Amino acid sequence: MAHIALVGAMQEELAAVLACMPDAHCETVAGRDFWLGHWHGHEVVAVLSRIGKVAAASTATVLLERFSVQRVLFTGVAGGLARSMKVGDVVVATDLLQHDMNASPLFPQYEVPLTGRAFFATDPRMTQALVESAHAVLGQVRHAHEASPFLSLQSIQNFGLQHVQVHQGLVLSGDQFVASAAESRRLQQALPQALAVEMEGAALAQVCHDYGVPLAVLRTISDRADDDAHTDFTKFIQEVASRYSAAIVAEFLQRFT
């Protein structure tokens, strides 16, 4: 039985995590490679969920049914919606919602049919530890005159990471890459409390809710979810987001018992 699952949606996001688990061995289930090992005293299973809600839900179900994980931690990138969100900031989700769920008039918009809810909360204790971990790690990035232990000075300067912040709040999920100013404005108007948008978190939250398993979600803001959302996306994931993930998860595992 693995104590905690570490899940990422893209290979670049997961690679830095796997580099910290040299003892990991692989089991392939449902076309996915699940890496079982140890990190900071925790029994861990790390996996690439792939992109989208169905892929995330399928991965979560295998983690819970086959590997009996006790907790799930998801890391990845997201597009910023709220004006306060800047590239390089980190969002720790407190609630997740599927912005493309609409079974009206049978059910209210956004409500997942037969659940009576649209919002799925993350685990408070894991979330608080993740917030503290993110603050500790990002505090090392806020000095542009020197490199951090995990980011180069050039990356800090190129992506303007001198004043990165940690945020907590609502994160939206949907099966579309939000990459236009018009769509971003539509989501902001419909759900003004939302901080960021991505493609997996709410599906994971629904599955974890069904199984009664605690979940925490960490997202690095890679773009503003507008017409410039494609700019240097891959480079940002490789040079910044994947390194954030490894550093923050390492800090989290040391803090969380």
Band (pLDDT 50/70/90 cuts) for residue 93 is very high
Per-residue confidence (pLDDT) for residue 238, from 0 to 100: 85
What are the structure tokens assigned to 238, written together?
């490789």
In a domain, 82, yes or no: yes
Q: Catalytic pick from 12, 13, 95, 183?
A: 13
SS3 171: strand
- Whole-model pTM? 0.92
Torsion over CA: 232, 234, 235, 238 (sign): positive
Q: pLDDT by residue (tens digit) across 15-35?
A: 888 888 999 999 999 999 999
Confidence of residue 1 (pLDDT cuts 50, 70, 90): very low
43 classed as catalytic: no
Select from 71, 63, 55 the least CA-distant residue to 173: 55
> Annotated catalytic residue: which of 111, 123, 200, 223?
223
Alpha helices in 66-123 (DSSP H): none
Structure tokens at 72: 């799930």
Residue 24 lies in a domain: no
The question of whether 210 is a catalytic residue gets the answer no
Number of separate domains in the chain: 1
- Buried residues in 134-143 as b, exposed as e (16+ CB within 10 A): bebbbeebee
- Integer Cα distance of 96 and 103 in angstroms: 18
Domain of residue 99, CATH code: 3.40.50.1580
In a domain, 29, yes or no: no
- Using the Cα atoms of residue 218, residue 221, residue 226 and residue 229 in order, give the sign of their dihedral: negative
Is residue 230 scored above 90 in pLDDT? no
Domain that holds residue 154: 77-255
